[in-house]
């Protein structure tokens, strides 16, 4: 196995000036990766400035849950959002697809407690959204521009403290993700690229979630991965993947981590202009970053005192502030 996989790509600027929604209704159905239940969603057009709003339509009284970091309720192997005790699990792949397709606003009716797994990547969501057509709205898109770094890392001296996540000022959206799995087939690697609607489909969308065969039984005992199969996940044994078709990208594992990161960060509610540097992170750390981005300064300091992770750079939340949040400026592009 290669020791280091480094991908550097050319700069691709995003030029979309206006907000988008889907042109027509999108219907998708499959098993839920973790619940193992059949679930379906209907993506519907939404007006400008609605954001992405999920609606649990299977309940006697529908519950609206905005795709917002404030509503994150679980980050255990997937990202779940909820409100008033009602949850929707595994939103990250769909959120990533919406980001990649340039969708700013959508109403997503959910029939079940989880988003359909489909093939375990963002590919099918992305293709279905594109097939429906993208509708440009009259309102200008706003971006969240990072002005000063926010760094989240484990408290000094804590065990296994080699993971971290940070965001730095940059003109466009860039991700640098490094990982080091103790597995001969996954190994270590670095993915660095500017990512936009221009290259998301080809470079990121098709990367599938992955899991280790030896962990499947334990996950299932804990009520997770109940719908997981070779149809919606790469499954690894000691030496390779069990999926007959093999990998879609040579470095599919790390690209999936990037796909997850994009989806989790889109819970900021906005497209970010900044460089995200992540080391061995999963949904938990991704959520800490997106919450730190959306929180104001005193709250960030508070979180900095937590034992497991803290803001090591205590400069201001260092995001522009205009009309939405005190420390965030939503810049008209
Ligand atoms: Zn994932």
Q: What is the pLDDT of residue 77?
A: 87
Alpha carbons 311 and 331: distance in angstroms, whole number: 25
Q: What is the pLDDT of residue 158?
A: 67
Q: State in Å: Cα 93 to ligand 1 middle.
A: 6
Q: What is the pLDDT of residue 186?
A: 85
Q: What is the pLDDT of residue 160?
A: 66
Alpha carbons 265 and 170: distance in angstroms, whole number: 16
Instruction: Enter the pTM of the model.
Output: 0.84
Q: What is the pLDDT of residue 53?
A: 97
Q: State in Å: Cα 19 to ligand 1 middle.
A: 26
Domain 6-14+143-332 shares a fold with domain 18-140? no
Alpha carbons 193 and 190: distance in angstroms, whole number: 10
- Where along the chain do its domains lie? 6-14+143-332, 18-140
Alpha carbons 107 and 63: distance in angstroms, whole number: 12
Q: What is the pLDDT of residue 157?
A: 67
Q: State in Å: Cα 284 to ligand 1 middle.
A: 12
Q: What is the pLDDT of residue 145?
A: 85
For the chain, the straight-line distance linking the first and the last C-alpha, in angstroms and rounded, comes to 43
Alpha carbons 31 and 227: distance in angstroms, whole number: 6
Q: State in Å: Cα 97 to ligand 1 middle.
A: 12
Q: State in Å: Cα 257 to ligand 1 middle.
A: 7
Q: State in Å: Cα 70 to ligand 1 middle.
A: 20
**93 has catalytic annotation:** no
Alpha carbons 319 and 290: distance in angstroms, whole number: 12
Q: State in Å: Cα 195 to ligand 1 middle.
A: 17
Number of other CB atoms surrounding residue 175 within 10 Å: 21
CB neighbour class for 253 (10 Å; exposed up to 12, middle 13-18, buried from 19): buried
Q: Which is the CATH superfamily of the domain at 18-140?
A: lpxc deacetylase, domain 1 (3.30.230.20)
Q: What is the pLDDT of residue 106?
A: 97
Nearest to 288 by CA among 124, 166, 114: 166
CA atoms within 13 A on the CB side of 220: 11
Strand-pairing partners, residue 64, are 55
Question: pLDDT per position in the chain (333 positions), as tens?
Answer: 333 344 333 344 455 789 999 999 999 999 988 788 999 999 999 999 999 999 999 999 999 999 999 999 989 889 999 999 999 999 999 999 999 999 999 999 999 999 999 999 999 999 999 999 999 999 999 888 888 888 888 777 666 678 899 999 999 999 999 998 888 888 889 999 999 999 999 999 999 999 888 888 788 888 877 888 899 999 999 889 999 999 999 999 999 999 999 999 999 999 999 999 999 999 999 999 999 988 743 333 322 223 323 333 333 333 322 222 323 333 322
Cβ–Cβ under 8 Å, residues 108 and 55: yes
Q: Which is the CATH superfamily of the domain at 6-14+143-332?
A: lpxc deacetylase, domain 2 (3.30.1700.10)
* Tokens at 294, concatenated: 């959306």
Alpha carbons 166 and 318: distance in angstroms, whole number: 13
Q: What is the pLDDT of residue 128?
A: 97
Q: State in Å: Cα 209 to ligand 1 middle.
A: 5
Which residue in 34, 93, 256, 283 is the catalytic one? Answer: 283
Q: State in Å: Cα 248 to ligand 1 middle.
A: 15
Angle at the Cα of 46 from the Cα atoms of 325 and 76, rounded to 5 degrees: 60
């Amino acid at each position: 196995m290669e020791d280091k996989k480094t991908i550097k790509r050319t700069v691709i600027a995003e030029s979309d000036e206006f907000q988008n929604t889907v042109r027509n209704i999108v219907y998708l159905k499959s098993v839920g990766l973790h619940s193992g239940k059949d679930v379906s969603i209907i993506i519907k057009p939404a007006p400008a400035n609605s954001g992405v709003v999920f609606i649990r339509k299977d309940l006697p009284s529908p519950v609206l849950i905005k795709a917002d970091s404030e509503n994150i309720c679980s980050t255990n192997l997937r990202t779940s959002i909820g409100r008033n005790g009602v949850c929707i699990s595994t939103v990250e792949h769909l959120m990533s697809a919406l980001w990649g397709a340039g969708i700013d606003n959508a109403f997503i009716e959910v029939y079940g407690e989880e988003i359909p797994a489909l093939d375990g990547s963002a590919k099918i969501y992305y293709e279905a959204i594109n097939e429906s057509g993208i509708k440009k709205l009259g309102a200008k898109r706003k971006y969240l521009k990072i002005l000063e770094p926010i760094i989240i890392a484990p408290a000094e001296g804590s065990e296994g403290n080699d993971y971290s996540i940070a965001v730095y000022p940059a003109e466009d959206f860039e991700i640098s993700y490094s990982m080091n799995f103790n597995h001969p087939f996954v190994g270590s690697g670095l993915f660095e690229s500017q990512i936009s609607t221009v290259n998301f489909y080809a470079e990121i969308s098709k990367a599938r979630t992955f899991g280790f065969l030896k962990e499947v039984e334990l996950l299932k005992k804990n009520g997770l991965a109940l719908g997981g199969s070779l149809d919606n996940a790469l499954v690894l044994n000691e030496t390779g993947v069990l999926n007959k078709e093999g990998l879609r990208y040579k470095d599919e594992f790390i690209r999936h981590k990037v796909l997850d990161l994009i989806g989790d960060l889109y819970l900021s509610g906005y497209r970010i202009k900044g460089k995200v540097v992540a080391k061995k992170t999963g949904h938990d750390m991704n959520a800490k970053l997106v919450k730190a981005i959306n929180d104001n300064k005193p709250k960030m300091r508070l979180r900095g005192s937590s034992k497991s992770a803290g803001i090591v750079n205590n400069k201001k939340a260092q995001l522009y502030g205009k009309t939405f949040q005190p420390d965030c400026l939503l810049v008209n592009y």
